Structure 1
Amino acid sequence: MTEANGTTELPKTCKAGVVVNEGPDFTVAVEDVPVPTPGPNDLLIKLNATGICYSDIHYMLNDLPMGSMSSYGVRSPGHEGAGVVVALGSNVTTWKVGDRAGIKPVYDCCFACELCWSGRESYCDAAPQIGLNFPGSYQQYVLSPARYTQRIPDGVDDFVAGPIMCSGSTIYCSLKEAGLRAGSWAVFPGAGGGVGHMGVQIAKAMGMRVVGIDGGEEKRELCMKLGCEAFVDFTKVEDVAAEVVRICDGKGAHGVFVTASSAPAYASAPGMLRISGKIMCIGIPPIGTAFAGADPLLLIGKNLTFSGTKVGSLLDTARALEFAARGQLKPIYEVFPVAKLPEAVAKLRSGKVAGRLVVDFNA
């Protein structure tokens, strides 16, 4: 193992947000945990920042059919980390101490199957999740396989890069797979949230006409500032789908990107589409609480397509970072010091966040 600054010793412990009482009544505490030692093929990364994603809440609630954090011996969730390499495993030759590096939701993949070969490694059967199967980015010093660590380009700071590791990569991948063209209407239920507000910006940069759906004046101001052509407040508009159709030339949207995770968001989406429209399922509801679909007559009569997308590949994440490097993607975030990480998690769980929350490990 090669350590930072040659002979400088790394700390024995670091700060970490850990889940207490995993399940519906969970809480988060900040504790000192051991700094891990990299294996032969690993990097040890000192994180400067981590975004907080609602998937972290799902893991701590244990309300997804993916196994529990505790069953894997994991206490710290998180998968939106950005920092610097401080130590290398003995076999690592493609990275050096001091390189900037990012932590994504997928921890690793096999690189030996059709999915990996075709750039769809997020769906690989051998793709464990960081923050669920392995300690995540709520912990300042984390391990990452060198072959599946994301490089962060110059010109993109860690507070921007962190949220892009999941949210930006996810929505870029969904926009890419939807195949919409410049001039198409792209609608974002949950447009003011962590994933949605990045989708608004990327879709705008791709030349699409963007409609945001969310609730409240703060979300409206954010969405219009970021490039929405129109905003629909679901707390004020009785028939959201009809209003979207009216805005979109009276014909409906070409694509609806459901970044919200509520049952009403999924239920109303089919009614927003024009002929041959596409619904992209992105927001993750607790299992059994929402349904993505419609009466077959509507699907047949309007030639509708439903598709689900997970976080993007290494290449997708690199592409999202390129939007940021060009100034076309600027995550909106509120910063919390690591000591207030529990407060940040509670705020996200309450659903009162416009944009993203980011934790500063150095504050």
Structure 2
Amino acid sequence: MANNSNNDIPKTCKAGVVVNEGPDFKLAVEDVPVPEPGPDDVLIKLNATGICYSDIHYMLNDLPIPPMSTFGVKSPGHEGAGVVVKIGSNVKNWKVGDRAGIKPAYDACFNCELCWTGKETYCDDSPQIGLQYPGSYQQYLLSPARYTQRIPEGVDDFSAGPIMCSGSTIYCSLKESGLKPGDWAVFPGAGGGVGHMGVQLAKAMGMRVVGVDGGDDKKDLCMKLGCEAFVDFTKVKDVAEEVVKICDGKGAHGVFVTATSAAAYSSAPMMCRIGGRIMCVGLPPAGTAFAGADPLLMVGKNLHVIGTKVGSLYDTTKALEFAARGQLKPIYEVFPLAKMPEAVDKLRSGKVAGRLVVDFDS
């Protein structure tokens, strides 16, 4: 079955479209044309998309990058899951009906050192979907066949969507941290979309996990997902001191900053033991936070500051394997397509434990 009968594919589809890009943006659900795959593309019909705070950054236009409108893109989104409904004339490795996912990086050149060493998300030719190409807020969208993510059996679309970004991103950070089983891993922002997956993955990798976040809802979630201890920043005066106390009185081997606040970044070095790693994951608005500390502290504690971006094709595959084995279960709240604008507003207000996912079929 090389091609789909075009009768099944509509001419238009629903999409969450940004209106008035910038600080006063709104999201509206509109009809947009269904794209036609080029020779090397697949056309995917999404069943679900996660809503990520990076989407909000793109719509707010508060990162030091060109806005979506520069590229003529109106729909953000980069964590979709669905099925292939049409394939380009050159595509041999996909067939109609295969389950497929969309991740933050749209493609890569596969012809440079970064691509050859599994760092293809840093490649100069690795554009972002939902910024430079229409993203997963649009139900039917294109993806280069060579960079489309396969979704294994046993992982449903509502779980697979958020793993494409959050799960893959934090898997990559855990891998690059070099932490070993039995090491202390601390997650500021542990109850958030990225953090709550990090807690599960770190536990599955044999680490001892401490969650840092605010409120009883987040505490309950974190303890249920495998934290050994939880520090509530709304109740504890010196969060770093409490973290050090929990981690043998010496501090964490790794602090995975998934929160986006200046406070989360400034307290991370204080949470670390000698030789500790500060893993930078959360993206604060440009110029609002600083990663690291006074050089005297950095030297005195042999601290490492490591930034990691979204996961590679390999990282995403690995994160999905944890999910297929039941060791990674994204916590999510489902919104019907018509309520996508409400989901975006809810995430923007910061009142979300876990992840918000939009169901295109409801």
Task: Tell me whether the two structures share a fold, i.e. TM-score over 0.5.
Answer: yes
Distance 1:206 1:108 in 2: 29
Please give the root-mean-square deviation of Cα atoms over the aligned residues, in Å: 0.9
Shift of 1:66: 1.7
Instruction: Give the secondary-structure state (helix, strand or coil) at the position aligned to 2:279.
Output: strand
| Structure 1 equivalent of residue 93 of structure 2 | 94
After TM superposition, the structure 1 = structure 2 runs for residues 218-229 of structure 1, keeping only pairs within 5 Å, are 218-229=217-228
* 1:58-137 superposed matches below 5 A: 58-137=57-136
After superposing on structure 2, the runs of 4+ consecutive aligned residues of structure 1 that deviate more than 2 Å are: 1-4, 6-9
Map of 1:200-349 to 2, 5 A cutoff?
200-349=199-348
Task: Kindly provide the CA deviation profile for residues 88-130 of structure 1, in whole angstroms up to 9, marking residues without a partner as x.
Answer: 0111111000000000000000000000000100100110000
CA distance in 2 between partners of 1:52 and 1:347 (Å)? 10
Are the counterparts in 2 of residues 3 and 9 from structure 1 also a CA contact under 8 Å? no
Distance in 2 between the 1:7 and 1:28 partners?
A: 30
**Residue 65 of structure 1, CA deviation:** 1.3
Deviation track 1:226-258 (CA, whole Å, cap 9, x = no partner) reads 000000000111100000000001000000000
Q: Is the 8 A contact 1:211 1:229 kept in 2?
A: yes
- Determine the C-alpha separation between the residues in 2 that align with 1:97 and 1:342: 31
Tell me what 1:41 maps to: 40
The equivalent residue for 1:156 is 155
Cα distance in 1 for residues equivalent to 2:357 and 2:267: 31
C-alpha displacement of 1:8: 3.2
1:138 alignment counterpart: 137
2:262 and 2:326 mapped to 1: Cα distance? Answer: 34
Tell me how far apart the structure 2 counterparts of residues 285 and 99 of structure 1 sit (CA, whole Å).
36
Secondary structure of 1:130's match? coil
Give deviations 1:269-324, integer Å, cap 9, x for gaps: 00000000000000000000001010101000110000000011101000000000
Query: Match of 1:11, SS?
Result: coil
How far apart are the structure 1 equivalents of 2:2 and 2:43?
10
Alpha-carbon distance between aligned partners in 1 of 2:293 and 2:153, rounded to the nearest angstrom: 45
Cα offset, 1:154, TM superposition: 0.6
In structure 2, the CA distance between the partners of 1:289 and 1:269, relative to structure 1 (3 Å rule), is same
Match of 1:169 in 2: 168
DSSP 3-state at the match of 2:330? coil
Output the amino acid matched with 1:333: Y
Match of 2:49 in 1: 50
TM-score w.r.t. the length of structure 2 is 0.99
Instruction: Report deviation, 1:206.
Output: 0.4
Question: What secondary structure is seen at the aligned counterpart in 2 of 1:8?
Answer: helix
Gaps of 5+ in 1: none
Deviation at 1:7, TM superposition (A): 5.4
The equivalent residue for 1:186 is 185
CA distance in 1, matches of 2:356, 2:321: 21
Q: Structure 1 residues 7, 59: closer, same or farther in 2, change over 3 A?
A: closer
Any conservation in 2 of the 1:15–1:139 contact (CA below 8 Å)?
yes
| Rounded Cα–Cα distance in structure 2 between residues aligned with 1:7 and 1:330 | 36
What displacement does 1:9 show?
3.6
Letter paired with 2:295: P
Partners of 1:30 and 1:3 in 2: how far apart? Answer: 29
Is the Cα–Cα contact under 8 Å of residues 85 and 99 in structure 1 kept in the other structure?
yes
User: Identity rate of aligned residues, in percent?
Assistant: 80
Q: 1:304-353: CA deviations, max 9, x gaps? A: 00000001110100000000000000000000000000000000000000
In structure 2, list runs of 5 or more residues that go unmatched: none
Partner Cα distance (2:351, 2:73) in 1: 27
Relative distance call for 1:268 and 1:69 in structure 2 (3 A) is same
Aligned to 1:28: 27
CA contact (8 A) 1:3 1:10 kept: no
> What is the distance in 1 between the residues matched to 2:8 and 2:199?
44
CA distance in 1, matches of 2:8, 2:208: 53
